[in-house]
């Protein structure tokens, strides 16, 4: 496994694309979070709404570069034919795929942490009147939202990797991933039946996963924060299993 991990790390760090996508994740997340936080009206009695969730809103856009990065980790090798070289160097396909997943997890964890902490810092700067009471990692719900958001980005990356391994084509894989992320919330808003609307929110990878950001009114959520993140983990696990199985059974 160590040689495979070294090879995957070398691929990622020697190509400009992953770095730019990670920087795009950080920039998009912090920028949108700053804009969202700047329109919050605060008074002497505090700020209305879930300030922590608003501060982390940039992830709605920041997850897109993460998904694209994860897709390109494997689909670019299919398009260039380099996948044959990879599988020749690492004949055990499960090992090769696992190395990609582990390397991707580490890279996204670093980029995601920078993006999320940058958003929280921006929120504390924009809303100085909140003091240490909110947007502080010493606050349990805020810490859970921050850590959970980083885990969410990692899960989105793994979901995208699994889909790309199954589909192989970059454009099709990106379309499927972004469709899964953004179409479910749109569909839930167009359905008039509250039961079906709530069900879609409970099973959608983004709607369910991002409940981890909520710190207030948890009883009104369609699904609990950790349970929602578990739904996203289920999507990622299913995609990885499907992608890994097809990788092992199909010709390169």
CB atoms within 10 A of CB 117: 15
pLDDT score recorded for residue 128:
61
pLDDT higher than threshold 80 for residue 64: yes
User: For residue 154, which of 102, 218, 117, 95 has the smallest C-alpha distance?
Assistant: 102
pLDDT higher than threshold 90 for residue 138: no
Mean pLDDT of the chain: 85
- The helix, strand and coil proportions of the chain, stated in percent and rounded to the nearest 5, come to 80, 0, 20
pLDDT higher than threshold 70 for residue 164: yes
Which range is most confident: 30-34, 51-55, 216-220? Answer: 30-34
Tokens linked to 157? 């990356």
pLDDT higher than threshold 90 for residue 125: no
Per mean pLDDT, which range of 25-39, 80-94, 214-228 is the poorest? 80-94
> Residues 97-110: what's their mean pLDDT?
92
> Residues 131-136: what's their mean pLDDT?
58
Per mean pLDDT, which range of 77-86, 171-180, 193-202 is the poorest? 77-86
pLDDT score recorded for residue 47:
61
pLDDT higher than threshold 80 for residue 109: yes
Question: Where are the domains positioned within the chain?
Answer: 2-249
pLDDT higher than threshold 60 for residue 190: yes
pLDDT higher than threshold 70 for residue 251: no
Per mean pLDDT, which range of 59-63, 114-118, 137-141 is the poorest? 137-141
Q: C-alpha distances in angstroms, 161 versus 10, 154, 172?
A: 18, 11, 13
Q: Which residue has the higher pLDDT, 217 or 174?
A: 174
Tokens linked to 250? 């199909």
pLDDT score recorded for residue 206:
93
pLDDT score recorded for residue 42:
60
Q: How many CA atoms lie within 13 A of 130 on its CB side?
A: 24
Confidence of residue 205 (pLDDT cuts 50, 70, 90): very high
Beta bridge partners of 46: 43
Q: Cα–Cα distance between 137 and 148 in angstroms, integer?
A: 12
pLDDT score recorded for residue 171:
92
């Amino acid at each position: 496994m160590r040689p495979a991990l070294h090879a995957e790390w070398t691929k990622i760090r020697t190509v400009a694309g992953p770095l730019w996508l990670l920087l795009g994740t950080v920039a998009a997340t912090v920028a949108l979070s700053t804009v969202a936080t700047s329109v919050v009206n605060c008074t002497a009695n505090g700020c209305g709404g879930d300030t922590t969730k608003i501060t982390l809103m940039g992830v709605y856009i920041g997850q897109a570069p993460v998904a694209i990065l994860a897709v390109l980790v494997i689909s670019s090798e299919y398009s260039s034919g380099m996948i044959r070289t990879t599988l020749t160097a690492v004949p055990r396909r499960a090992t090769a795929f696992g190395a990609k997943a582990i390397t991707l997890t580490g890279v996204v964890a670093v980029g995601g942490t920078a993006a999320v902490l940058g958003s929280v810092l921006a929120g504390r700067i924009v809303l100085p009147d909140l003091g240490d009471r909110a947007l502080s990692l010493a606050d349990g719900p805020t810490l859970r939202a921050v850590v959970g958001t980083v885990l969410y980005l990692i899960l989105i990356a793994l979901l995208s990797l699994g889909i790309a391994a199954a589909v192989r084509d970059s454009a099709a894989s990106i379309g499927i991933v972004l469709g899964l992320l953004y179409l479910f919330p749109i569909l839930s808003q167009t359905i008039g039946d509250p039961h079906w609307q709530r069900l879609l929110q409970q099973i959608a990878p983004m709607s369910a996963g991002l409940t981890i950001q909520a710190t207030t009114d948890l009883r009104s959520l369609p699904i609990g924060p950790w349970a929602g993140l578990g739904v996203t983990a289920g999507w990622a696990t299913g995609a990885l299993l499907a992608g890994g199985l097809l990788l092992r059974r199909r010709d390169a």
